[in-house]
Amino acid sequence: MTEALIQKIIDSSVVDGPGNRSAIFFQGCNFNCTYCHNPETIPMKSPTATSMTLKEVLAVIQSNIPFIQGITTSGGECTLQKEFLRALFRETKKLGLTNFMDTNGSVPFTAMEELLALTDGVMLDVKAADNSEHIKLTGASNETVLQNLDFLASRGKLYEIRTVLVENAFDNLGTIRQVSEILKPYFGTGKIRYKLIRVRSKGVRTPYRKLRPPSEEMIVNLRDILLKAGFSEVVVV
């Protein structure tokens, strides 16, 4: 597959992985998170998305060199277009760039070995550790997500975990505890960051706009727990 459906490409992103990166937002997601702030990227087809060839995407990326250290693929869910991703990462490697991806972890990485070899780091969303909570939030099970969490860490490819913090609706504490538990064997082997994201209403679909982040006190508490558990850095946004 040499074409992909792209929602947008951001030439300079300072919030999608290490350093300055170009971020490519793929169209289409297999989750349907209530708090999704890019809901327009969820449908597999969208009038605002553009079908782009590998060459076209590369041309945009190339025009951003030498200001970027790499690219980050995001979405929607970028791994749903994994063939394209693999072809893209192969080319960007040749350009001396690093490849990061931001994923909801729904596609098993065990079946994407070649892609993973071309990937420098993964930002993995762990939305909820409790499966029924996860289903309620996203409409899908988290079984693969948690398997990916372990697998990526074991391969040294887990750059960052991301969890959106919502007051009362989810057991944020339970999630970070369980993630810490799963990653316990790997803290000694490399750095793993944790990004806690305060839920925000901007872009979120109307029925869910009332979601609020937990208190600052709670957030500080979560942060401390994560640092104690062994994460190299905890970022709160």
Partner 1 sequence: MVYTEGVIDVKIYRNHQETVADVTQIIQDASLTYEQQTLALAKLAENQLPLPVGEDEEILELFEKGIICDLDEGHGPYAPRYILPDYEKFFAQGSQFLRLEPPKNLLEAIQTLQIFYHHVPSITRFPVYLGRIDKLLDPFITDREEAREQIKWFLIHLDRTINDSFSHANVGPEETVAGTIIIDLIGELQNVTPNLTILYDKEKTSEAFALSCVTSSLVCANPAFASDRRFRDDFGDDYGIASCYNGLPTGGGAFTLSRLRLNRIVDEAASREDFFASHLPRAVDALLRFMESKIKFLAEETPFFTSNFLVKEGFVDLDRFVGLFGLVGMDEAVDNLMKKEGRNLSYGIDREANELALDILDFIQERVGGFTSGYGKVWGNHFLLHSQVGAAGDEGTTPGMRIAIDKDMPLYDHLRQAAQVHPYFPSGIGDHFPFDYTAKENPQAVLDIFKGGFESGMRYISAYSEDGDIIRVTGYLVKKSDLEKFNQGEQISYDTIQYAKEPLEKHGILNRKVVGVND
Footprint on this chain of ligand SF4 (rule: CB under 6 A) = 29, 31-33, 36, 38, 41-42, 75-77, 104, 138
Q: In this complex, which beta carbon is closest to ligand SF4, that of residue 58 or of residue 127?
A: 127
Q: Pick between residue 75 and residue 214 the one whose CB is nearest to ligand SF4.
A: 75
Q: 202 exposed, middle or buried (CB, 10 Å; 0-12, 13-18, 19+)?
A: exposed
Q: What does the angle CA 128 – CA 121 – CA 86 come to, to the nearest 5 degrees?
A: 105
SS (H, E, C) 109-136: HHHCHHHHHHCCEEEEECCCCCHHHHHH
Can you give 9-28 as a three-state secondary structure string?
A: EEEEECCCCCCCEEEEEECC
**Least gap, CB of 74 to partner 1 (angstroms):** 11
Query: Binds 86, which of ligand SF4, partner 1, none (CB < 5 to 8 A, cut-off by type)?
Result: none
Q: Is the Cβ of residue 61 or residue 204 nearer to ligand SF4 in the bound state?
A: 204
Tell me: does residue 11 bind partner 1 (CB under 8 A). Answer: yes
Q: In the range 35-54, which residues lie near partner 1 by CB under 8 A? A: 37-38
Enumerate binding residues for partner 1 (CB under 8 A): 10-15, 18-21, 23, 37-38, 63-69, 202-203, 235, 237
